Amino acid sequence: MTIGDSIATKTIGARLWLYSNYHCNLACSYCLTSSSRDVPKRELAADIMLALVDEAATLGFRSVGITGGEPFVRADMPDIVAAVARRLPVVVLTNGTMFTPRFVARLAPLATLPAALQVSLDSADPAANDALRGRGTYARVIAGIRTLRAAAIKVRIGSTVDDGAGAALEPLCELHRSLGILDADHVVRPVVRRGRAADHALGIAAQLEDLPAELTLTVDGAFWSPASPTVRNGRLDIGELLTRTIAPLRIPAEAMLRYASSGGMPQGTGLVA
């Protein structure tokens, strides 16, 4: 089976994930990657990201996700996102705190490209949101969403909720609708008990079968899912590492296919090629 066939049959996901970096201007309580301003950056270089996306298009991947850390703490990220979007549709997961009018001006090309920014917003209650993500975050995110929308840049909302937070969702949905964001562009996901969330006993434990089989590349190697390459106490979790090789893309893609075809990789072994 080719990589393209495996994507067509949904044996592996159609989206390729790139961890652009691990550092962040925030330090959220539940962060899977224990990100902050002070952690190692672990950046994927721009030329490597673009070469991987070129090969992804050739192999049959249909879209790209960029995550971290906070991608937009990198000065080169606006140019990278536009370059990726000229190759494949892209979604960037962002904390949404950096979208001043001046910064958004650098994102202007995205308005006419297949690019979406998925902005994190966990509650319609500023105090509840900021308790997890940091004081002042809510106000900056709302202002940033308005600035992005005014620039005709596609915005999605990503809400990470601890179990039991379901009751808080309706006000959040009313809020995103009031900002002009449709229900179809609101993504809700649970806190996964990994990284800093495990330090605070937040969220739910996830097994391999709970995670999407979506090839995920970091500077440290290729992983089973975007929830796999987490960091706790400064240590990268390699329990779902497919291979240390990320380029050419064919190598990690074939490793992914091998395990996906056989019902998933042996959990916790972290095969290193």
How far from the centroid of its chain's Cα atoms is residue 48's Cα? Answer: 18
SS3 217: strand
Q: How far is the CB of 122 from ligand SF4 (least distance, A)?
A: 10
Residue whose pair of structure tokens reads 């064919």 in the numeric block? 250
Nearer to ligand SF4, 30 or 61 (CB): 30
Are 118 and 164 in contact by the 8 Å Cβ rule? The answer is no
Phi, psi of 51 (to 5 degrees): -65, -40
Shortest separation between residue 30's beta carbon and ligand SF4, angstroms: 7
Closest to ligand SF4 by CB, 133 vs 176, is: 133
Strand 90-94 relative to strand 115-120, pairing: parallel
Cβ distance to ligand SF4 smaller for residue 6 or 33: 33
| Residue 17, φ and ψ in degrees, nearest 5 | -100, 140
What distance in Å separates the CA atoms of residue 237 and residue 230, rounded to the nearest whole number?
5
Which phi-psi region, left, alpha or beta, contains residue 270 (left: φ > 0; alpha: ψ -120 to 50)?
left
- CB nearer ligand SF4, residue 209 or residue 235: 235
Question: Smallest gap, in angstroms, from Cβ of residue 134 to ligand SF4?
Answer: 8
Contact residues: ligand SF4, CB under 6 A: 24, 26-28, 31, 33, 35, 68-70, 95, 133
User: Smallest gap, in angstroms, from Cβ of residue 248 to ligand SF4?
Assistant: 28
* CB closer to ligand SF4, 35 vs 129: 35
CB of 233 to ligand SF4, least distance (A): 15
